[in-house]
Amino acid sequence: MIIRNGFVFQEDGTFRQKDLYVENHKIAASEDAVTDRTEVDASGLLVIPGLVDIHSHGAFGHDFSDADTEGLKTILKYERSCGITSYCPTSMTLPGEQLKAIFATAKEAAGTEGGAVIRGINMEGPFLDVKKKGAHVEEFIRTPDAAFFRELNEASGNMVKLVTLAPNTEGAMEFIDEVHKEVCISLGHTGADYETSSEAMRRGAHHVTHLYNAMMPLAHRDPGLIGAASDDPQCMVEVISDGLHIHPAVVRGTFRMFGNERVILISDSMMATGMANGQYELGGQAVTVKDRKATLADGTIAGSATNLYDCMCKAISFGVPVSDAVFAATRNPAKSIGIYDRVGSLSVGKEADILLVTPEMELKKVLG
């Protein structure tokens, strides 16, 4: 396939008008390498990489935690239709045997035709701080346990790419010491202070789960996890830019504070994404969705009802430069879970996950 005359997003963040060549679902170096001569006219359009959502619980009426393979396949097809070509289904805090069954569906749904590619599993619970549990069920929260993590990872076929950890819980530092070379450890759902968070990062935890949400706020005398993340040059931070979780001024400020290499846009989407207002579930708890806002009965925000492509567009509408927003939805998440050698940019040799969008960021076509 040859994509003609589009403005192709480059690794330096610029757009360059050029042809893009695809052979066997890989970006090819030249037209001579292409055997399929199908041409796509991208005149006047931006050509960007497929998006990478590393934190999403569900969409289109289904949840990863349902442990339903067909439901997960539906999620993957919905995600791809919205420009998300790489995906990490994300679990909630649930009993061990239930998590094993949930994780097994990721293996079974892998390779879903017409769907986003599962690049790994995001294990958001159960190693959380009960005081910052958010929409997670307190009775299933447990102390960090490397053996338990490995048991679940084995059940998934070693697909777990991310695990959320509250660093102020008993055994958290020992957990980081033991497994930080096996999985990306993300700090979150925690009341940890600056010193505790910094120590966790020093030991090897260089990721933050949905920055600002389910943690202590950034205060001038007590900067907490947010301040520690800012000080750690290796730390990457997730941001839910749905217009509800975080004020637009804070989204803009986060990009200024962390730069365009350390912010990761996520959806944190739940099953109501792509659906009408109504009653849904997240991790076995009832959720009410009205005008894209998902809440538990007590008013706690329970994930988002917005897909990653729309979150990226929201960030741009808030004043984040287009290139920074694209990086935060493609390159940065891919780097965070170690798959940037395959996806996240339109470089020669990488998988040809390609989006054609208008200069106003309207998604026109998903290719690859």
Alpha-carbon span 17 to 4, nearest angstrom: 9
Handedness of CA 59, 76, 80, 54 (dihedral sign): positive
Out of 53, 268, 324, 353, pick the active-site residue: 268
Strand partners, 89: 56
Give 116's DSSP letter.
P
Round to whole Å and give the CA distance between 7 and 358.
Answer: 10
Hey, is 219 helix, strand or coil? coil
Task: Indicate if 129 belongs to the active site.
Answer: no
Amino acid at the residue 14: T
Element (H, E) at 117: strand 117-118
Q: Nearest CA to 165 among 176, 154, 178, 151?
A: 176
Q: Which two tokens stand for residue 346?
A: 């339109």
Residue 262: CB atoms within 10 A of its CB come to: 24
Three-class SS of residue 164?
strand
- Classify burial at 125, counting beta carbons within 10 Å of its beta carbon; exposed 0-12, middle 13-18, buried 19 or more: buried
Cα–Cα distance measured from residue 181 to residue 115, given in angstroms and rounded to the nearest whole number:
30
The catalytic site residues sit at 268
